[in-house]
Amino acid sequence: MLYHVPALLNECIDGLGIQPDGIYVDVTFGGGGHSYEILKRLDRGKLFAFDQDAKAEKNKPVDDRFLFINQNFRFLRNNLRYYGVESINGLVADLGVSFRQFDDPVRGFSYRFESTLDMRMNQGAGKTAADIVNNYPHERLKKVLGEYGEFRNVGAMASAIIEYRSASPIKTTGELVESVRKFIPERAENKYLSRLFQALRIEVNREIEFLKEMLLQATEMLVKGGRIAVISYHSIEDRVVKNFFRTGNFEGNEKKDFYGNPESPYVLVNRKVISPSEEEVSRNRRARSARLRIAEKN
């Protein structure tokens, strides 16, 4: 059951340059949008799909060429090797939270719904957003808000959260919003709250850490000429992908060989980041922040 069409779907699939007999990986299966399109272009090839949210499995196609793996993509290499796969021809990653997860009022991903502060993509593991806001010390809260929310007044925000929780634990999305209410600008409330919830979600799911692990493993497993396509939705993860594709490291430090040529495991397929067209955004407002980068293994 395909429940939505992903952002930049055609650009992403076309950019992979799919070979009919190749082995491909969709590390963020979700509703199956990318997987279904990849399967249309495969003949005797194989497609492996990862998703740590067990609910995603209900969307899988009935197809002998397809295998669903209910795991975080940080376990990419080990799982593929378990199935006898040592190399792949391409990989797609559509990062962040799926629209279905955002629209689920009980998951706590959105400030639009009054719900428990969970935010775990895998509901069977790890700490929740409530654990973070109620237990992190001041300095650690500052780090999360600064690095993943890109706020400036992180010290005051962290202090406000700690002051609020000292009177009563912060258990719901509404209570989290109230704890920082005095910092929310009236004309930018949605943007501000989106960044706040983003920061906690990234910390809960260790998204940046696991993204880096996956990129390193994908690079190891891609064949020469194999391609990787990554769609990101905020500057933090996009910066990680951009730096890695261009320089082979996450800091963006360019290294050159003896002849002065840049050293990187990849050559960029799209020199400039790909954004949705105005027509796509008019059909799907949520696609407006999507950014696609595609690279080919040297």
pTM to 2 decimals?
A: 0.92
H or E segment and range at residue 262: strand 262-263
Same domain? 143 vs 223? no
pLDDT tens readout for residues 25-57: 999 999 999 999 999 999 999 999 999 988 899
Shared domain for 213 and 149, answered yes or no, is no
Q: Which domain holds residue 275?
A: 9-100+208-297
Claim to verify: residue 90 and residue 212 sit in the same structural domain:
yes
Contact 95, 211 (CB under 8 A): yes
Query: Based on the domain organization, do 112 and 192 belong to the same domain?
Result: yes
Same domain, 50 and 83: yes
Among 205, 228, 253, identify where a domain stops. 205
155 domain-assigned? yes
Using CA atoms, how far apart are residues 271 and 252, in angstroms rounded to an integer? 15
What is the reported pLDDT for 279?
Answer: 94
Q: 237 and 92 share a domain?
A: yes
* Confidence class for position 101, pLDDT limits 50, 70, 90: low
Q: What is the pLDDT of residues 211-248, one digit of tens each?
A: 999 999 999 999 999 999 999 999 999 999 999 999 99
Task: State the total domains in the chain.
Answer: 2
Helix, strand, coil percentages (3-state) for the chain, rounded to 5, are: 45, 15, 35
Residues 217 and 273 in one domain: yes
